[in-house]
Amino acid sequence: MTATLADDRSVRLSAGPLVRRPKTTRIAGMMLAVPATVFLALFLLVPAVRLVASGFLTQDAHGALGGPVTLAHYVHFFGTALYSHVLLVTLRISLLTAAIAALLGYPVAMVMVRSHPAVTRIVTFITIAPLIVSVVVRSYGWQLILGNGPTGILNWVLLSLGLIQTPLRLLYSETAVVIGSLHVFLPMMVLPLASALGKIDPHLEEAARTLGMPAWRVFHRVTFPLSLPGLAVGFTLVFSLTAGSFVTPAMLGGTNAQMLGNLIDQQITAVYDWPFGATIATVLVLIVVGVNLVSMRLLEGRRRMPATS
Amino acid sequence: MVALLGPSGCGKTTSLRMIAGLVQPTSGEIFIDGRPVTGIPVHRRNIGMLFQNYALFPHMTVAENIAFGLEARRVSRAETIERVNDVLQLVQLGGFGDRMPAQLSGGQQQRVALARCLVVEPALLLLDEPLGALDKSLRESMQVELRALQQRLGITTIIVTHDQDEALTLSDRVAIMRGGRLEQLGTPTEVYEMPASRFVAGFIGVSNFFRGRVERRDAGEARIVTATGEALVVEGGAADHDEVTVALRPEAIVIEPLSDDACDAANSVVGSVEQVVYRGFVRHTYLRMDNGETLIAFQPSRPGSEGAAVIAPGARARARWAAGSNRIVRDERAG
């Protein structure tokens, strides 16, 4: 009985600097992280290092990688108009998707947070539901809807209603990829936004309104700034996932809206130029990391600005 | 300054939120300065509302928080700076303008929240349990400060509280609410000394209650006899019905050792002392009356004369009080 009491106390006070858990407990605690760490080291870190290294190696006639170390692949990538264009398209599609996801996501997240619990549950389910269906299936669906001929569902509807005279050319375009990506990644925006909005004390908005601000200005001055951490997470997620996507641009973008992912696929599986594929992959990852750092910095900076002004 | 006082869930906060416009009343009208405001949205009512948790904007400095209402009213930058500085002086937080709310203590945050309300010169100041989150000593000093400030500025103020001391200390008039209805509206003295109902008498302070029949009505007084035979004389005596409830404040009762004389006098009961609780300046005596009910009496302790007046638990004693202390109250339970 006394032993149990003592144990309880040591656990409760373990955060304090004066009380330490027994050494064996601490080691046992660290051991718990070992399997995952080993797994990640073996199957993520090592291949990643090899991938980056491949981009600086030369491939001989038999396809084996070796010396000399070279920057030729990078020069080739940035020197060729086609590749720069694909890079630009990738950035444009990803930024646009993330931005539109934010615009669409805010109202949904607001409803999710502010409504009756039953409504919240339904909206949450509807938001998450697309994740249950495979990306391939969803992209096929969009192919049917956006089909360029008069038989594409959207074109057929618009033509029947007399709203357009000639079929729209939506499929195999950047627009189609943005639409498809939005459909897939919107939950990644809504969920962090809802979480951030849910943490805002409703009294803050009430206080702002009693102080004389109409509702839309309250959103601008109070709700939006306080939800920025959620927006930062959502934006990062949607941007990164879109930039790295492969299936959606392959099925909805065709050759008009190729993205870096498709380029990598071509280089590895069709051209068998592994060093160049590795180069593109490295560029892709660096860009994603770079954009994320910039967006985080902007959002964080905005949030901290009042403290320094 | 009016206090809305009542137990939790009695509708006082809801009333305040209706005045603010944060919730719509299902029926009835709300007037501010004689102007109906029921249909006017919150942001055009020109009110200041102080929330229990202060609701300071965590992403803005103290100065930006205070300037918020001026920003909403599109006041010029120069005037904003001047008014913010003035009000910071007023709440004794000069020089704190650049701090973030999280860097302030509870009392300081409270003052910022108050300054944020005051700077817009509201027609009406609404305080929702403003001192509930502060510890006792800070609460008492803030009560005094708040009262002084409100009187100096002369802003009509409505304060919601469940703390009767706070209501009595701060306000000119107290509205006691129960179950969404107003029980009594009066000055602190009125609601304490002349409670209108059994609920008010029991909610503000402590009361003893007697139920009885009016036996005789004379000019200026009435004689009431309870079911178990105790006789009470009530001044004023204007009881409409025969069954009445009489409230009696414990501090009006004198406890004395049993003596032979006047054993059947009105406004006097005999019983055995059950418990005596020493509470510093006052002594609570619980007297078990012969009819089985307990009577509470508060008697001032007089340091120096210790012992002589104290009647030990178990002893028989007499409680008596002046007729003027009896107060007939409305009693919902009596039907």
Residue type, A169: R
Model pLDDT for residues B90-148, shown as the tens digit of each residue: 888 888 999 999 999 888 998 899 999 999 989 899 998 888 777 778 888 888 888 88
User: Percent helix, strand, coil in chain B (nearest 5)?
Assistant: 30, 30, 40
Fold classification of A77-308 is MetI-like fold (1.10.3720)
Domain boundaries, chain A: 16-44, 77-308
Residue from the list B45, B68, B117 with its beta carbon closest to the beta carbon of A208: B68
DSSP-assigned states of every residue in B227-289: TTS-EEEEES---SSSEEEEEE-GGG-EEEE--STTTT-SSEEEEEEEEEEE-SSEEEEEEEE
- Specify the length of chain A in residues: 309
**Cross-strand partners of B254:** B320
Enter the tokens of residue A141. Answer: 């669906």
Query: Hey, which residues 239-258 in chain B have their CB within 8 Å of chain A?
Result: none
Model pLDDT for residues A21-67, shown as the tens digit of each residue: 677 777 888 888 899 999 999 999 999 998 899 888 888 777 777 77
Task: Indicate the SS3 state at residue B304.
Answer: coil
Model pLDDT for residues A259-272, shown as the tens digit of each residue: 888 889 888 888 88
Beta strands B124-128 and B47-50, pairing class = parallel
Q: CA-to-CA distance for B225 and A260, rounded, in angstroms? A: 97
Cβ neighbours of B72 in A, within 8 Å: 208, 211-213, 217
Query: Hey, which residues 36-95 in chain B have their CB within 8 Å of chain A?
Result: 41-49, 51, 53, 55, 57-61, 64, 68-69, 71-73
Cβ neighbours of B110 in A, within 8 Å: none
- For an interface test with A, the pick among B32, B59, B119 (most A C-beta atoms closer than 10 Å) comes out as B59
Model pLDDT for residues A205-248, shown as the tens digit of each residue: 999 999 999 989 999 999 999 998 899 889 999 999 999 898 88
Average pLDDT over residues B217-241: 73
A-B contacts at Cβ under 8 angstroms: 73
Output the pTM of the full model.
0.75
Using alpha carbons, list the distances in angstroms from residue B97 to B51, B58, B92, B130, B327. Answer: 20, 14, 11, 22, 53
Alpha-carbon distance B165 to nearest alpha carbon in chain A (angstroms): 26
Model pLDDT for residues A274-297, shown as the tens digit of each residue: 889 999 999 999 988 988 888 778
Residue A141 burial by CB count (10 A; 0-12/13-18/19+): exposed, middle or buried? middle
The three-point CA angle B63-B65-B66 to 5° equals 65
Q: What ipTM was estimated for this complex?
A: 0.77
Contact B5, B165 (CB under 8 A): no
